[in-house]
Amino acid sequence: MSYRPVLFTVGILLLILSASMMLPMAIDLSSNNPDWKVFAGSQCITGFFGLALVLTSRQDSMRLNLKQAFLLTNAAWVVTGLFGALPFYFSDLGLSYTDSVFEAVSGVTTTGSTIMADIEILPPGILFWRAILQWLGGVGILVMALSILPLLQVGGMQLFKTESLDMEKVLPSAAKIAAYIGVLYIILTLLCALFYNLAGMSGFDAFAHAMTTIATGGYSTYNASIGHFDSAAIDAICIVFMWLGALPFVLYLRTIRGDYTALTRDSQVRWFFGIVAAISFVVITYLLLNQGWGFADAVQKTLFNITSLITGTGYTTANYSLWGNFVLSIAFFAMCIGGCAGSTTCGIKIFRFQVLYAVTSSQIKKMINPHGVFPAYYNHKPIPRDVPVAVMSFFFMFALVFALLAVSLQLCGLDFVTAMSGAATAISNVGPGLGNVIGPEGNFSPLPDAAKWILCLGMLMGRLELFTFLVMLSPRFWRR
């Protein structure tokens, strides 16, 4: 297997990452913050390695086969996390390389977990760099989900295989898709920043939060997250753009091209909003009847935080860990759901629940009428035979990896709630966990280094849809 196309593409990604460091460097320079030197040095190192890979790996044919596509997908996220950690490590924050990598991996996987105890003392360049990492990670998962994962047949993603994609032309196809998605992604980000600014945010805060909102990442510039602004208008804007980030971006393109009912026809979109509404209704009812909340306050805080949990954004406006054990258990399961396939969200994804429901319903009908034929349907089309197997395999591996992560974290000395919620938030790329340590008002800095590396592994596996990462551990993968 030739590694040249993989190394060449990784080099391009490093050059993009290096160029991205110019923005926070310019912000620090404009505010006379000496931290600009941190980004200058990090940019030189990242750019050097990126240019070296491009120059030494260039060849006439840059097509990728299946193995190279798997390798590239894994390498892109790992390398971006390692080099994205350099500004954190070189800064005056006194972070270890472990903490720096944790913050960068959490950013680029759009998880949103942080080791920063006091975000508000960070230099503006570092704050913006955290937002940039999540923004790049958000558009990265879109390209991967729409152009690579369907070809790799990961966890049922072959349902979304586009006829225009060719297995032997992954890279050109990905570039074509990235062009359309990238423009739409930028437009949505700018719109979100505009609305945030009109609602009262400063220009800096508006852009920083817009990038992490549309990426469903959740990094904020304040310790209290979105709750810092205490604004119903900002909460509403954030909810809408979290929803937009959680819907399939391909459907936006179809809508723009004249298919105005593309979003409303899609069953995955209807399921997503149905799940958000159902869980929010249950929590609101509980808060009204058992906690004595006011109706408006219950609706605003519940809808925001449930949306944030389901989409994996990780923003908070209140400490839902204090809302009672019933809400705590709902929050735990909500963070595993995720949004739609082809969105910036992570988690299990809505379409897998749909496939599982369709197969289960078909099986029940088959038990009642053994001689009947009851095909399972998704979006009014029969589900291909290999998809249910892939989806059920994904559910099994999700549960297995979650259990292994939770047990490993407990071996590191974490308590039960911290270990369980930490494993769930890592593999689902949500952000805050539950409890006093890593809950909405806590952070991950008290955790031992071993636990942080385990969580980094969990975040990468969750972002790579598990099988994309696990296939690399098979000896058969590396055989010729």
Residues 224-236: tens digit of each pLDDT: 999 999 999 999 9
How many CA atoms lie less than 13 Å away from 268 in the CB half-sphere?
28
Give me the half-sphere count of Cα atoms (radius 13 Å) on the Cβ side of residue 399: 5
Hey, how many other C-beta atoms are within 10 angstroms of the C-beta on 45?
A: 15
Residue 382 β-bridge partners: 377
Percentage of the chain with pLDDT > 70?
93
Using the 8-state DSSP alphabet, how is residue 146 labeled? Answer: I
Cα angle: 376, vertex 149, 60; to 5 degrees: 140
Q: Is the pLDDT of residue 133 over 70?
A: yes
Q: What is the pLDDT of residue 274?
A: 96
Q: Measure the CA–CA gap between 14 and 23, rounded to whole angstroms.
A: 15
SS3 assignment, position 392: helix
pLDDT band at 386 (very low <50, low <70, confident <90, very high): confident
Residue 66 pLDDT grade (very low, low, confident, very high; cuts 50, 70, 90): confident
Per-residue pLDDT reduced to its tens digit, 151-180: 666 777 766 664 333 334 444 555 677 788
Neighbours of 172 (CB within 10 A): 15
Separation between Cα atoms, residue 325 and residue 10, nearest integer Å: 45
What is the per-residue pLDDT for 291?
A: 85
Residue 381: pLDDT band (50, 70, 90) is confident
Tokens of 150: 């369907």
Q: Out of 76-85, 178-187, 265-274, which region has the weakest mean confidence (pLDDT)?
A: 178-187
Give me the pLDDT at residue 393, please: 92
pLDDT at 171: 45
What's the confidence (pLDDT) of residue 163? 39
Tell me what pLDDT residue 161 has. Answer: 60
Q: Are 341 and 349 in contact (CB under 8 A)?
A: yes
Q: What is the mean pLDDT of residues 102-120?
A: 92
Mean pLDDT of 401-425: 94
Residue 378 pLDDT level (bands cut at 50, 70, 90): confident
> Rounded to the nearest 5°, which phi and psi values hold at 293?
-75, 155
- Average model confidence (pLDDT) for the chain? 88
Instruction: Please write the tens of the pLDDT for every residue from 1-55.
Output: 677 888 888 999 999 999 999 999 999 999 888 889 999 999 999 999 999 999 8
- Amino acid 164: pLDDT: 39
Percent of the chain with pLDDT over 90: 59
Give the amino acid at 265.
Answer: R
Specify the DSSP class assigned to residue 339. Answer: -
- For 269-304, the pLDDT digits (tens) are 999 999 999 999 999 999 999 888 889 999 999 999
pLDDT at 61: 64
